[in-house]
Structure 1
Amino acid sequence: MPIDELDGRLIELFTAEPRVGVLEASRRLGVARGTVQARLDRLSRDGVIAGYGPEIDPAALGYGVTAFVTLQLRQAGGHDPVAKRLAQVPEVIEAHTITGPGDMLCRVVARSNTDLQRVIDVLVDVAGVERASSVISLATQVAYRTLPLVRASARRTGGAERRWPGEDGADGAKPGERPPG
């Protein structure tokens, strides 16, 4: 779904400050409250905004080890039964069907390396899983992000190649705000 610059600024504002209200957002963006509400409703209905929940840091919950586990599956039975079982393992925070040498890629968290071994053992015991290989993440270099995509999409739709207020922080504006002056 194409978005315009106002949609992008609205998404950026709510990403930076999820608790900002519709009235405050309308004030900061310089548009009517009804416009903000209608845009949020449309963006949610169209699936651009997938949710409004808090971001949880697994490390803050004691799960300081992150690993990526590639699973090779038996060719009979398909991915769905395995995916349903993986969804029951709390430490599996993402699972994707992939191309390449494996069949599924899981992002998992654990309390320690010893706990990671336990999690991998649980995954290998899932019916349909033939084999697992894992790599431990030492550091996150680029965290999950979507704002660059939002900005690029809004630029493409609007046809203008310009930087947004607050994009690089050099203009003194908060995300979603117009620069001072």
Structure 2
Amino acid sequence: MPVDELDTRILRLLIEQPRTSVREYARILGIARGTLQARLDRLERDGVVTGTGPFLSPAALGHPVLAFVHVEVTQGHLDEVGDALAAVPEIVEAFSITGGGDLLTRVVARDNAHLEDVIQQLIRLPGVVRTRTEVALRERVPFRLLPLVESVGREARAARASGGGSR
């Protein structure tokens, strides 16, 4: 298991109170500041904590349209197309995938006409065979990790209670 019960408590605080100081986190958790700092350093080194925010809203930045664009790529050109996608500012994420298509991108746009312009830009990229677009209508579950962190914490407690131990 990548984290233990204390790590889970730390992660919960990072999610719920992201602007709190390390000293205050240590006080809340009832642990030494050095212990907390060592844990935070390890969580970052292990890739559990990958950033510190802030989280921005594309809609508040004038890009309220969200679409998922599947991109089919000519065989052998995945890296080149991936590099080209990184140059398109409206593409906020891109993943290599299995299934229908080779890449899945998350695209934001000012309006539907702007979305069409972005898609046309993608279609013109060397190595792109075709695209398929799905427009998001409403966010039903916002990006979140706290439920996962809580689940990991429950598993760590259960392992500890059953004698599985912890770090």
- TM norm. shorter chain > 0.5: yes
Q: Deviations over 1:83-108 (max 9, x none)?
A: 10000100000111111121111000
Q: Deviations over 1:53-96 (max 9, x none)?
A: 21010001000000000111111x33111110000100000111
More displaced stretch, 19-28 vs 148-157 = 148-157
Moved over 3 A (4+): none
Superposition map of 1:16-27 within 5 A: 16-27=16-27
Task: Return the alpha-carbon distance in structure 1 between the equivalents of residues 71 and 151 of structure 2.
Answer: 34
Whether 1:86 and 2:120 are equivalent positions in the alignment is no
2:72 corresponds in structure 1 to 72
Q: Is 1:2–1:157's contact at 8 Å kept on the other side of the alignment? A: no
1:42 corresponds in structure 2 to 42
Task: Return the alpha-carbon distance in structure 1 between the equivalents of residues 16 and 87 of structure 2.
Answer: 31
Superposition map of 1:45-60 within 5 A: 45-60=45-60
1:118 corresponds in structure 2 to 117
Over the aligned positions, Cα root-mean-square deviation in angstroms equals: 1.7
SS in 2 for 1:51: coil
Amino acid at match of 1:128: G
SS in 2 for 1:159: helix
TM-score by length of 2: 0.91
Task: Return the alpha-carbon distance in structure 2 between the equivalents of residues 110 and 34 of structure 1.
Answer: 45
Task: Return the alpha-carbon distance in structure 2 between the equivalents of residues 21 and 160 of structure 1.
Answer: 31
Task: Return the alpha-carbon distance in structure 1 between the equivalents of residues 28 and 104 of structure 2.
Answer: 41
SS in 2 for 1:50: coil
SS in 2 for 1:54: coil
SS in 1 for 2:133: strand
Amino acid at match of 1:22: V
Task: Return the alpha-carbon distance in structure 2 between the equivalents of residues 74 and 3 of structure 1.
Answer: 41
Give, in angstroms, the shift of residue 26 of structure 1: 0.8
2:104 corresponds in structure 1 to 105
TM-score by length of 1: 0.84
SS in 2 for 1:61: coil
Give, in angstroms, the shift of residue 157 of structure 1: 2.6
Amino acid at match of 1:155: R
2:30 corresponds in structure 1 to 30
Give, in angstroms, the shift of residue 34 of structure 1: 1.0
Task: Return the alpha-carbon distance in structure 1 between the equivalents of residues 112 and 77 of structure 2.
Answer: 30
Q: Is 1:69–1:108's contact at 8 Å kept on the other side of the alignment? A: yes
SS in 2 for 1:133: strand
Q: Is 1:65–1:111's contact at 8 Å kept on the other side of the alignment? A: yes
Gaps of 5+ in 1: 162-181
Task: Return the alpha-carbon distance in structure 1 between the equivalents of residues 45 and 59 of structure 2.
Answer: 32
